[in-house]
Structure 1
Amino acid sequence: MKELIIDASTNLLYIGLINEKEADYITRIGKNDNAAYVVEMIKDLLEKNNLKIDDIETIIVGVGPGSYTGARVAVTVAKMLAYTKNIKLKTISSLNLLSTGYQNVLSAIDARRGYYFVGKFENGKTIMEDDYLSFDEIKNEKNLIVITPETIKVDLHLVSENSILNENIHELEPNYLRKTEAETNYDKKNDHKWYC
């Protein structure tokens, strides 16, 4: 089995590869510019392993939550490759993907303003669905790991085992869990502006 794994939900762009029993990956820490490097890094990882995109049987994408733009880019690239190359597409929570190297974890990504995207996982299996919680609600959890480039631990085989087949590529959307700041500001600005 040859599987390509893509996640851009944090400032760490993660591209992984399972080639039968072997696993490899490359990463890049970005400054809101990872979108420009996703395709190039996929190409680099495949070339490093003497593979082409046509050799890939499955693409697994982290669908968020996390960076709005990052999740959107990862999902779009995964959908495009899966559709044009007729490759199976699977999805997984980015919180799960980026913490599969921990046995029992409450994985959190900073959502700013004192809130976090949070999910609980045990050996890659979901114990608590992804949620949007304040730091006060999670700060006393003993297995809390705030995802940063330094704390990310990925077990690509667990990612593969716990990903879910997507039945309709065209309807796949990132998991945002909340409105973007732009949407919230727009709603506030346009509240009570309906005229008859």
Structure 2
Amino acid sequence: MNKLIIDITNEKFFLMIITTGSTYNITCENTKINYEKLTIIINDFLLSKNLKISDINTIYINKGPGSFAGIRNSLSIVKAFNVAKNIDYYSYNLDDFKDEKDLSYENVPNLCKKYKIKKNLINPIYIS
């Protein structure tokens, strides 16, 4: 199973691919231009690892708190992947896991399972 983690709530946005044998990640500047190019950035990242979006089984997306524009754009893209490619997603918030000692992006899929984060449900948390 291939998993994609997207976090665009901070000063830099973060993408991670978790495959059966490897983990890859990149960070990019969190700018308006990169929001508009997010699908291209995701696609280029996947292609650099010889993957395509249809190879992804599940997406994990940080729903905030954070920038309204970043959260809105990333959630829209994940919803589009769900509709177009039938890719399930989990929308998490790092506060969901505040009692965890091993809080790392690599562990987000296991934490979503442990804390019973609901699949295909988004309730964003914006900073005003």
> Where on the TM-score scale, by shorter chain, does this alignment land: which range?
0.7 to 0.9
What is the rounded CA distance, in whole Å, between the counterparts of 2:99 and 2:44 in structure 1?
31
Cα deviations by residue, 1:65-121 (Å, 9 ceiling, x for unpaired): 11111111111111111121011111211x469xxxxxxxxxxxxxxxxxxxxx834
Alignment correspondent of 1:50: 50
Give the drift of 1:175.
1.7
Contact 1:11 1:30 in 2 (8 A): yes
Give the drift of 1:64.
0.5
Contact 1:124 1:162 in 2 (8 A): no
Equivalences, count: 124
Give the structure with the larger strand fraction. Answer: 1
What is the rounded CA distance, in whole Å, between the counterparts of 2:29 and 2:95 in structure 1?
19
Alignment correspondent of 1:80: 80
Larger radius of gyration: 1
SS of residue paired to 1:50 = coil
Alignment correspondent of 2:29: 29
Q: Which moved more, 1:34-43 or 1:47-56?
A: 34-43
Alpha carbons of 1:3 and 1:52: their partners in 2 closer, same or farther (altered >3 Å)?
same
Contact 1:6 1:78 in 2 (8 A): no
AA aligned to 1:80 is A
Contact 1:12 1:28 in 2 (8 A): yes
What is the rounded CA distance, in whole Å, between the counterparts of 1:175 and 1:124 in structure 2?
23
Alignment correspondent of 2:110: 161
Runs of at least 5 residues in structure 1 that lack an aligned partner in the other structure: 98-118, 126-154, 181-196
Contact 1:2 1:19 in 2 (8 A): yes
Aligned residue runs from structure 1 range 62-81, under 5 A: 62-81=62-81
SS of residue paired to 1:166 = coil
Higher relative contact order (CA 8 A, sep 6+): 2
Tell me the TM-score normalized by structure 1: 0.56
Identity of matched residues, %: 30
Give the drift of 1:30.
3.0
Give the drift of 1:166.
2.0
What is the rounded CA distance, in whole Å, between the counterparts of 2:118 and 2:22 in structure 1?
22
Contact 2:91 2:120 in 1 (8 A): no
Alignment correspondent of 1:100: none
What is the rounded CA distance, in whole Å, between the counterparts of 1:26 and 1:65 in structure 2?
21
What is the rounded CA distance, in whole Å, between the counterparts of 2:120 and 2:39 in structure 1?
24
Contact 2:88 2:120 in 1 (8 A): no
Give the structure with the larger helix fraction. Answer: 2
| Superposition RMSD in Å | 2.2
Tell me the TM-score normalized by structure 2: 0.83
What is the rounded CA distance, in whole Å, between the counterparts of 2:63 and 2:49 in structure 1?
25
Aligned residue runs from structure 1 range 85-124, under 5 A: 85-93=85-93, 95=94, 120-124=98-102
